[in-house]
């Protein structure tokens, strides 16, 4: 019998190592393919997608209520979310019932958001103590603090042949450019909300500072809910009744 040469043994050894390496590579490739295509987690179901959106939305609304000092009604917020979700996704499920009774109005924080009324030309002018220029506010002033977008004052008809000239400042989320926000019409919904909340109210109804503060907070809360990544709160910059 012929003896194997040393070169043949080396060739056999090298071929064995190559086979082992190729087998290992094949296993790794197979595992990667299986993980990518076969073991990939399934997409979320519509119920899971809705739950994730609801959790995120309610958390943002809760934060809006906190920064605007408004009581957060969980049941009412859930009902509102269900309504919006049904409108946007065509869901047929009935919205969750809202809590019975009106939401309690929060007590105004001491010294926050209002000043004593002062007469002017037969009317009433109130400048919010919170009103102040800020960086990016489009009007100079102190170059620090959150950006502020000033909404141009509008005239709202009140009951009893009176009218109200009211302006609003929107405190924006840090990092939002007030000039860009103004260009994109961020203040337009605020003007619509002012008309909705203040029109047809009486002059006597709006005289108490706590009433104005409550309305101011509610407006800030609603605007924050609508644009939680841009608007934090609102305050009156002009409030003249005649």
Please check the confidence at residue 200 and state whether its pLDDT lies above 60: yes
Is residue 121 within 8 Å of residue 242, measured between CB atoms?
yes
Q: Look at 117-126, 147-156, 169-178 and tell me which has the smallest mean pLDDT.
A: 117-126
Instruction: Pick the closest to residue 206 from 233, 242, 173, 182 (CA basis).
Output: 242
Regarding beta strands 231-241 and 123-125, do their DSSP bridges make them parallel or antiparallel, or are they unpaired?
antiparallel
Instruction: Pick the closest to residue 189 from 223, 217, 163 (CA basis).
Output: 223
The pLDDT tens digits for 27-66 are: 676 666 556 555 567 788 989 899 999 999 999 999 999 9
Which pLDDT does position 79 carry in this prediction? 94
Calculate the CA 48 to chain-centre distance: 21
- Calculate what percentage of the chain has a pLDDT beyond 90: 49
pLDDT averaged over every residue in the chain: 75
The whole-model pTM stands at 0.64
Which pLDDT does position 89 carry in this prediction? 85
| Tokens at 8, concatenated | 């043949």
Please check the confidence at residue 227 and state whether its pLDDT lies above 70: yes
Instruction: Pick the closest to residue 60 from 184, 230, 214, 190 (CA basis).
Output: 230
Distances from the Cα of 117 to the Cα of 156, 171, 207, angstroms:
19, 23, 8
Which pLDDT does position 205 carry in this prediction? 94
Is residue 237 within 8 Å of residue 169, measured between CB atoms?
yes
Distance CA 190, CA 198 (A): 12
Task: Tell me which residue has tokens 């209002």.
Answer: 114
Please check the confidence at residue 171 and state whether its pLDDT lies above 90: yes
Distance CA 155, CA 167 (A): 9
Which residues have a Cβ under 8 Å from the Cβ of 177 and sit 6 or more positions away? 136, 147
Which pLDDT does position 139 carry in this prediction? 38
Q: Provide the residue ranges of all domains of the chain, joining segments of one domain with +.
A: 118-241
Distance CA 59, CA 54 (A): 8
The pLDDT tens digits for 212-222 are: 999 999 999 99
Please check the confidence at residue 8 and state whether its pLDDT lies above 50: yes
Distance CA 195, CA 213 (A): 16
The pLDDT tens digits for 79-137 are: 999 999 999 887 544 444 554 544 444 444 433 433 333 333 233 333 333 334 333 33
The architecture in CATH of the region 118-241 reads 2-Layer Sandwich (3.30)
Half-sphere exposure in the Cβ direction for 186 (13 Å, CA):
27
Which pLDDT does position 15 carry in this prediction? 62
Which pLDDT does position 14 carry in this prediction? 58
Which pLDDT does position 144 carry in this prediction? 64
Which pLDDT does position 29 carry in this prediction? 64
Regarding beta strands 162-172 and 148-158, do their DSSP bridges make them parallel or antiparallel, or are they unpaired?
antiparallel
Report, as an integer, the average pLDDT of 221-235: 94
Instruction: State phi, psi for 138 to the nearest 5 degrees.
Output: 75, 40
| Tokens at 191, concatenated | 């003007």
């Amino acid at each position: 019998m012929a003896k194997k040469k040393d070169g043949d043994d080396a060739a056999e050894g090298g071929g064995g190592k190559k086979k082992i390496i190729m087998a290992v590579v094949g296993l790794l490739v197979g595992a990667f393919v299986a993980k990518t295509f076969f073991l990939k987690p399934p997409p979320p179901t519509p119920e899971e997608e809705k739950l994730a959106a609801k959790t995120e939305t309610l958390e943002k609304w809760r934060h809006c209520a906190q920064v605007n000092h408004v009581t957060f009604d969980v049941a009412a917020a859930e009902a509102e979310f269900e309504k919006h979700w049904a409108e946007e996704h065509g869901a047929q499920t009935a919205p969750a019932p809202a809590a019975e009774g009106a939401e309690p109005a929060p007590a105004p924080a001491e010294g926050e958001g209002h000043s004593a009324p002062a007469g002017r030309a037969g009317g009433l002018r109130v400048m919010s103590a919170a009103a102040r220029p800020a960086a990016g506010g489009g009007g100079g002033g102190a170059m620090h603090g959150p950006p502020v977008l000033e909404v141009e004052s509008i005239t709202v008809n009140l009951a009893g042949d009176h009218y109200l000239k009211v302006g609003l400042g929107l405190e924006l989320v840090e990092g939002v450019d007030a000039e860009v926000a103004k260009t994109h019409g961020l203040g337009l919904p605020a003007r619509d909300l002012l008309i909705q909340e203040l029109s047809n109210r009486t002059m006597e109804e709006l005289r108490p500072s706590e009433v104005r503060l409550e309305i101011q907070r509610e407006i800030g809360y609603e605007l924050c809910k609508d644009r939680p990544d841009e608007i934090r709160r609102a305050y009156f910059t002009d409030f003249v009744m005649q």
